[in-house]
Every structure is written in structure tokens, then in C-alpha cells.
Amino acid sequence: MKVAYVCADTGVPVFGNKGCSIHVQEIVRAFLQRGAEVDLFVARVGGNRPIDMADCGVHEFPLGRRDSPGDREASQQLLSQLIARSIPMDQYDLIYERCSLWSDATQVLAARCGVASVLEVNAPLIDEQQSHRELSDRATAEQIALQAFRHAQCIAAVSEEVAQYVRSFYSEKTGNLLSGVEVVPNGVNVNRFCPDTQPVGASDRFTVGFAGSLKPWHGVESLIAAFQLLLETHPLSRLKIIGDGPLRASLEGSLQLRSSAVAAGTEFVGSVAPDRMPGHLVSLDVAVAPYVKQDQFYFSPLKVYEYMACGLPTVAADAGLLSGLISNGVNGLLYEPGNVEQLSRILATLADSPSLRRLLGTAARSKVVNEHSWQLCLDRILNHVASTTG
């Protein structure tokens, strides 16, 4: 099988350290491990090519700086068309595209040429752009999304909430039902993320950790507050925050408003290269996904799958996909989103019970190994492609 992997999103550095970057790399790896040839057609490379992707063709289409939102949006539409025209469709068995806000040309051209295609949808991109960034021309963004959804042979949504968004958006705008939408949650490389990895920065003190981008919806501020309460009964505990993002400066500054013990016990590691992330995770005793309460929780968090693959007892906000992934008290522990006191009590319980930590961690790894490896994710997607071909 020969595959063209397409990502026209300038915010996704495909060889970078961000969660979206890891997602791209692992899907490509899963194809390679199946014996496929993969070429990448992307807006942004953003880092050094991983060694195991040395044989992949990489075609980058960088977008120059644009000052106004309107100019950026127009340029991104042209970029999408340029990428699509650069793909020799007759040379590929499958077009696999990570959905981008202004990109429909690849799906339209693949459909016209009769080439099988997958559109991977990770979020309600239009709503995200309007809420968290800038969106000048929503009407055009909606038309482009409709075109992409209409022409994709298969749509792989990372959560049921994202799938519902795609279906309802299409139905509301067109009056028609959209078929071919499959829910395929994210996965994890269970060989890279495993308990016997050499730890990085390990300590004999009870260590709570978070890994991911430091953005408002990830709830790291509430984790710090829970850690402060934990220190009242477990003063030698540590908090390790792995990752970077727009809230880092304010989070570090907030430590000075808390007790000196909180500041002394908290470590901000910063951004970590993908090959070093497993070592940082296995240095933890407990890993937390402290999402804030939200009306629409549509995430399929890579960090949680990685926590579980490392055999870590995982504590997560009881929301969305996490409520099904984690069986409370079996392979992890759930708490009410934003409930700092409840989170602190759970951390104290785990601090006092190494046997419970081992039990939960073992069950967590078993869950993701058996159900959520990237190979299994790709199997589901390709089975969906096969079922819609005919």
C-alpha cells in the first residue's frame, strides 16, 4: 500500500513535540509497520525527521507570515489547493488527511480521481478557532468543512462527541445525513511507553505528575491547588509538570502566591522531546488529567493513554471519553471535574497505598495494550475504509 499523509494545518509541526505532532508521527509509524510506503505532504515540518521515517518522502509547503486574520485565512485556502495539486493521485492507494480548518481541496480531488480517502477529525475546529484564536470568515470556513466532509470516503473522529459534532454540523447546514463517520479514539505506542523504561529525574519522594500543553482547559491550576492540600498531610510529596504552553508563566507566578512548600515541591520540566517522554512519565508515582468542567468535552487525550501504557495509576476528571476509558477503582480513579478537595483526597489515598498504585497501574497498561495501541487504531480505520469501498 502506498499512502499520502496530508496535513495542511500550519499549527501542526509534524516532527515536533506537541500532542498533535505525536499523533501524526504515530499514525505514520503504524502504516510503516504494516509495510506501507508513506509520503507526507504538510504545511509545517517543525523538527528533525525521526530515524524510523527515513524512507518517507516529505514535501513541505511553508506559509509565509500574514499580519491580518483575513490574509492568513485566504493564504491557508491557497495552501490547501497547492498541496492537493502537488499530490500525484494516481500513485497512491490511500489519501490520509488530518482535518485542517481551511482544507478541502485534497478530499475533493481524491474523490474526483477515485482514490480512497480518510479524513481524521480531532476537534470542532471552527468553534475552537472562534473561541480561542481569531476567525474572520466563518461562513467560508463552514463551506470548506462541508466540502471536506462531503467528499471524504471515510471520516475518523477521535471521540463520540467529535463524531456527533460532524454529523450534526453537516445535517444542520445541508439538511442531509452524513454517512461514513467512525469513532476511533486515539492510541498509544505500547512499545515506547512501558513500565520498564529507564526513569528520568526519579525521586524517592511521592511524585504526582501532569504531562501536556499548559492551556486553560487542562486544569493544571486545580492540580496545583490539590497538591497544596496534599502537602498538609504528606509534606514530602512532589509535583512534576511536564510540558509547555501559554499558561506556563502565570502558573509559575501563581506558586509565589501559595505556600513556600508548594513552590519548593513543584517542578516545571518544560517541553520534552518525544523520545524522552516515557522516561519522565515512569518517574511518577501517580499521573493526573485534571480537566476543568466543560459543556462539551470532546477530547481523546494522548497523555492519558501514555500514562496508562507506562503502568501509572491514573487519576482523571470524570468527563467525556475518559469516563469510559477509565473504570473507576479498576484501572484508574475518576473525580468530579474541578473538585480540588476530592482530587487531593484521592492523591493522599494513593500516597498511602503502594499496593493500590500497583494494582491500578497494571490494569491500566493491560487496558491500553489490549484495546488502544496505534496498530489497533489503524486497523479500525482501514477496516472502515474497506467497508465503504465498493
Q: Would you state the pLDDT for residue 67? A: 67
Q: Tens of pLDDT along the chain (390 residues)? A: 999 999 999 999 999 988 899 999 999 999 999 999 999 999 999 989 999 999 999 999 988 776 677 788 888 999 999 999 999 999 999 999 999 999 999 999 999 999 999 999 999 988 888 877 788 789 999 999 999 999 999 999 999 999 999 999 999 999 999 988 999 999 999 999 999 999 998 889 999 999 998 988 899 999 999 999 999 999 999 999 999 988 999 999 888 888 889 999 999 999 998 899 999 999 999 999 999 887 778 878 899 999 999 999 999 999 988 999 999 999 999 999 999 999 999 999 999 999 999 999 999 999 999 999 999 999 999 999 999 886
Q: Would you state the pLDDT for residue 72? A: 85
Please classify residue 385 by burial: count the beta carbons closer than 10 Å to its beta carbon, then call 0-12 exposed, 13-18 middle and 19+ buried.
buried
Residue 211: closest CA among 288, 299, 286: 288
Please classify residue 389 by burial: count the beta carbons closer than 10 Å to its beta carbon, then call 0-12 exposed, 13-18 middle and 19+ buried.
exposed
Domains of the chain: 2-187+374-388 (3.40.50.2000), 207-371 (3.40.50.2000)
| Residue pair 89/113 in contact by the 8 Å Cβ criterion | yes
Q: Would you state the pLDDT for residue 269? A: 95
User: CA distances (Å), 149 to each of 96, 108, 119, 121, 298, in order?
Assistant: 13, 9, 8, 10, 18
Give the E-state strand segments of 245-289 in sequence order. 266-270, 286-289
Residue 381: closest CA among 126, 92, 26, 56: 26
